[in-house]
Amino acid sequence: MGRRTAFLGSWLILGVVFVTSVTWPSACRAASKPITLETLLEEMVDRDTIARLPDPAYTCKQASSYDRHSTEPGSPTWWANMDRSYFVRVDQNDGRTEHVLMDAEGPGAVVRFWATWHGPGGGEFSNGTMRIYLDGQPEPAVAGPLADLISGGVLVAEPLSQGVSAQTAYRHRGHNLYLPIPYARHCKITYQTDVLIDDGAHKGEALYYQINYRTYEPKTEVESFSSEVLRRAQGTVARVQALLSQPRPFGLDDLEEEALEGRLSPGKDRSLTIKGEKAIRGLQFQLKADDLAQALRSTIIEIAFDGTRTIWCPIGDFFGTGYHIRPHTTWYTDVSVNRVLSCRWVMPFHRQAKITIRDLGAQRVELAYGRIQTGPWDWDDRSCHFHASWKQWAGIETQSNERAKDLGALDLNWVTVRGQGTYVGDTLTLFNTANTWWGEGDEKIYVDGESFPSHIGTGTEDYYGYAWCRPEFFESAFHAQPSGDGNLVAGFSVNCRYRSLDAIPFRKSIQFDMELWHWARTKMNYAPTTFWYARPGATCDVEPNAEEARRAVAQKVEDIVKPRRVENALEGETLKVAECTGGTTEIQDLPQHNWSNNRQLWWRHAQEQDRLVVEFPIGEEGDYDVTLGITKARDYGIVRIAINGQTKIDSLDGYNGSVIAADVKLPTCRLHQGTNRLEVTILGSNPEAIKSHMFGLDYILATKRSR
């Protein structure tokens, strides 16, 4: 905890610089000028630059700790999931063991660094030192404790460095560094730790990382990062930090503004056509409806540039809030507390743009506020149209892919684009139906026909800039979680990632796949929106889907997973626990296990000879056929079952290799009018079982026998 120094040549600690005035960056860098830390920072906040093909051209790739057993798409090991502590190689350097995270030829620049970790005992602190070697030099240009460099504020303050704050614990979020690190010829990043590295077989310190980096065309002049370069750039750093911290509000630019407002009836639309060589520079809308959640999904924003539709998306998904208003701000989007949706994407066009707001729902929607801001644009052979596509997998079954049935994963193709352009971000809106994590899957991005993805990740939450499945709200310039309500319990979540320096250019095509890997076998609604710029003529494989946009949005588990119900059964979760001599009881609500009404009475932490007594009512005395709905799993015990003091099953083994709902028929039972007692006694465990002695009561079904 005492190591707080970063070494940049000689050591340097940088404070936070505050500014009171903000000016916009100059126009994009002339191609003849060298790439420097300052030009990269200016590019980061120049909204026009990303709307043109890059000049000089570059590729963007990712180095990460993905599980190296993932060697071939579609193979049995493709979904391998130990995405930690994998490195390029291990170097011995001056008596140190350094694990190489990235080794890339230049000219280039590191443009995003995400990491998270846990210590040897599972704690949240990194023990290691990161070093960044540039251009083959034996001494690192940057060296210091990993946590301090990425998110501790030593190199740069928030928002270029993000992850740890007074309000957010280490394990709640990933650690993010957006400060670019340019290099002229070569970059090698290493990690050294004095403790055992977790390799799966041996538990120790685990490091998860993703490093996005650019490689420019050969002979591109790049000034390499150094302590002196960082000192010189402090004015630019301060200005960029201020811009990213408070993206400029609408209405302050000298732009033309037109209104698009009015009432929309089901099946109707309102549109506005803007002519000329211009660019949309701001969109703002506010909807009013009796069912606002449904309106956010069923109301479509559609935009055609120069006669070609390139945007078709539910309006809430387009602005990064899904079908619930979740106020947040990023560099490109804003959702205000008064429900105004805004975006700052620059959208150029050569001749005209037609903006349409369409009501596909069954209710009337009022477009209470709508503003389109436009400004001049010089259309040239690098100018691109803005695209947005949306698709939904409604009620998709998780852990159901046959090729990965033992791993529980499948790759979903979010979008495939053919043409030339730049991929710039995405949002993911979903409704989870299980009380556990949905996003174990990794992104796989193939550029220009790659057979193996140049971007392969370590988990969906890592891709979106956080970690450890955490549900807490966060917002930043380029990634946000407006809602994590459905991360660890059933519910709604929405994640956003927008790209600036880490945008991905493509010359011929780009294919974005995301692995869907849920911890539970269940169903969920899963809807990504993807954003990219492309030259005219580009196409994608996502078509408008009015049926999915009209689909009623999920507000509860039953909207997606229709619960099984055993007719005339007494649900275990509704019954009174009259006695429990050890352990604890609670109601477990997990739709994926096919329990009646999705719930069971769960008894755990019991020991041998502990007893559970549950009371259940009967309307008429007599002989009954009784069936118990119970659960079997690896950690369930062997029990004795009695009714009203009479043993009905001497020994019932609850062990099974996976979780299943089972029906157990008892011998004929004599039941009383009024209260009866089911008695369960723990006898032990199957030799193959985890010795947790659990028992689960789904239901009791009692049917009176006819004479």
Task: Report whether the peptide linkage leading into residue 25 is cis, meaning its omega lies within 30 degrees of zero.
Answer: no
So what's the pLDDT on residue 16?
Answer: 31
Residues 6+ apart with CB under 8 A from 636: 654, 655, 656, 689, 692, 693, 694, 695, 696
pLDDT digits (tens, 9 = 90+) for 675-689: 999 999 999 999 999
- Asked if residue 14 has pLDDT above 80, the reply is no
N- to C-terminal Cα separation, the chain: 78
Of 550 and 32, which is predicted with more confidence? 550
So what's the pLDDT on residue 209?
Answer: 97
- Asked if residue 199 has pLDDT above 60, the reply is yes
Domains of the chain by start residue, with CATH: 1-20+32-246 (2.60.120.1390), 256-380 (2.60.120.1390), 570-704 (2.60.120.260)
pLDDT digits (tens, 9 = 90+) for 235-294: 999 999 999 998 876 655 789 999 999 999 999 999 999 999 999 999 999 999 999 999
* CB-based contacts of 562-565 (< 8 A; 24+ apart in sequence): 563/591, 563/596, 563/597, 563/598, 564/594, 564/595, 564/596, 564/597, 564/598, 565/596, 565/597
Tokens of 610: 């502990």
- Asked if residue 197 has pLDDT above 90, the reply is no
| Cα–Cα distance measured from residue 478 to residue 502, given in angstroms and rounded to the nearest whole number | 10
| Cα–Cα distance measured from residue 633 to residue 689, given in angstroms and rounded to the nearest whole number | 8
The pTM is what?
A: 0.85
* pLDDT band (50, 70, 90) for residue 210: very high
- Asked if residue 11 has pLDDT above 60, the reply is no
Average pLDDT, the chain: 91
Tokens of 76: 């049995």
Tokens of 21: 């005035």
Torsion on CA atoms 60, 66, 67, 72, rounded to nearest 10: -30
Residues 6+ apart with CB under 8 A from 506: 417, 420, 421, 422, 423, 447, 448
Cα 278 to chain centroid distance, Å, stands at 34
**Most trustworthy range by pLDDT among 5-9, 114-118, 166-170, 333-337:** 333-337
pLDDT digits (tens, 9 = 90+) for 619-638: 999 999 999 999 999 999 99
Q: For the chain, what percent of residues have pLDDT higher than 70?
A: 90
Cβ contact 372:341 at 8 Å: no
Task: Report whether the peptide linkage leading into residue 159 is cis, meaning its omega lies within 30 degrees of zero.
Answer: yes
| Cα–Cα distance measured from residue 181 to residue 187, given in angstroms and rounded to the nearest whole number | 9
**Most trustworthy range by pLDDT among 126-135, 160-169, 574-583, 593-602:** 574-583
- Asked if residue 392 has pLDDT above 70, the reply is yes
Q: How far is CA 255 from CA 16, 279, 281, 282, in A?
A: 33, 10, 8, 9
So what's the pLDDT on residue 592?
Answer: 75
Of 296 and 117, which is predicted with more confidence? 296
| Cα–Cα distance measured from residue 50 to residue 110, given in angstroms and rounded to the nearest whole number | 17
So what's the pLDDT on residue 17?
Answer: 30
So what's the pLDDT on residue 32?
Answer: 64
So what's the pLDDT on residue 251?
Answer: 59
So what's the pLDDT on residue 377?
Answer: 97
| Cα–Cα distance measured from residue 554 to residue 50, given in angstroms and rounded to the nearest whole number | 35
So what's the pLDDT on residue 408?
Answer: 60
- Asked if residue 124 has pLDDT above 70, the reply is no
Beta-sheet strands, E only, within 27-88: 58-64
Residue 316: exposed, middle, or buried by beta-carbon count in 10 A (0-12, 13-18, 19+)?
buried
So what's the pLDDT on residue 624?
Answer: 98
- Asked if residue 643 has pLDDT above 60, the reply is yes
- Number of CB atoms found within 10 A of residue 546's CB: 12
So what's the pLDDT on residue 563?
Answer: 85
Cα 123 to chain centroid distance, Å, stands at 23
- Asked if residue 74 has pLDDT above 90, the reply is no
Lowest-confidence region among 226-235, 397-406, 478-487, 517-526:
397-406
3-state secondary structure of 547: helix
pLDDT digits (tens, 9 = 90+) for 159-173: 999 864 434 434 447
